[in-house]
Amino acid sequence: MSFVLTVLVIWKVLIPTFLSGKNPVAIGLLITIGLTFSIIILVYGIDRRSLAAISGSVLGTLLTAVLSVFMVSGFKIHGAVMPYSESLLYAGYAHLNLTQIFTASIFIACSGAMMDVAVDITSAVDEVVQNGENISKVEAIKSGINVGRAVMGTMTTTLLLAYSGGFISLLMVFMAQGTPLLNILNLKYVSSEILHTLVGSFGLITVAPFTAFTSGLLIKKR
């Protein structure tokens, strides 16, 4: 159900709204938070676990959105680095702000991984609390952070492999031609992927302590 809901929201709400020319960052943030609420409630139902996981995931998404805005500006990346952006402009949508669309795509792309981490940590803390009735809130939060530390070690690598996997042929061309590393890093479409990975990793790293804190406070009260 969550998969079908996400497909429908992307195709029927997100894409048409972007094409209408409205602020992509604000719209993307609202839709991402809305999907976070809907998907986690479908997983847990309406209880303290849902509130804990949603709080951690939304806080991470907000931080990632802020980082996206500042780092896209700092990296001086234009949204034209996105595939098919020129075709979109030639199709009669020259009024679109491609840079803002690119910014929104960064936190939208890693929001699913954030929900994954938030649900993992919430479930772990819930099990610890249920099987240790005498555990304190501080101990529950520490347990969540320990779980998050283990998850982060693999999740950030997952992002790196996912983003770099689509550019294997390009990396092979660079190596075959002997292109200097500094030149590679200064190419816009390469630096944009580095930005994707950096911002996504920072967002994921913050989701762990956010969710551990909210889970320890909320689930212990249940």
DSSP-assigned states of every residue in 75-119: HT--GGGSTTHHHHHHTT-TTS-HHHHHHHHHHHHHHHHHHHHHH
pLDDT band at 221; cut points 50, 70, 90: low
Distance from CA of residue 153 to its chain's centroid?
16
pLDDT band, very low/low/confident/very high, at 87 (cuts 50, 70, 90) = confident
The answer, yes or no, to whether residue 64 has pLDDT greater than 90, is yes
| One-letter amino acid of 167 | F
Structural domain boundaries enclosing 160: 2-219
144 close to 219: Cβ distance less than 8 angstroms? no
Tokens of 102: 């690119």
pTM of the model: 0.87
Q: How far apart are CA 8 and CA 61, in angstroms?
A: 21
What confidence tens digit (pLDDT) does each residue in 116-150 have? 889 999 998 988 888 877 788 888 888 888 888 88
The number of domains in the chain is: 1
CA-nearest of 222, 27, 38 to 126 is 222
Q: What is the pLDDT of residues 11-34, one digit of tens each?
A: 999 999 999 989 999 999 999 999
Which CATH number does the domain housing residue 68 bear?
A: 1.20.1640
Residue pair 47/201 in contact (Cβ under 8 Å)? The answer is no
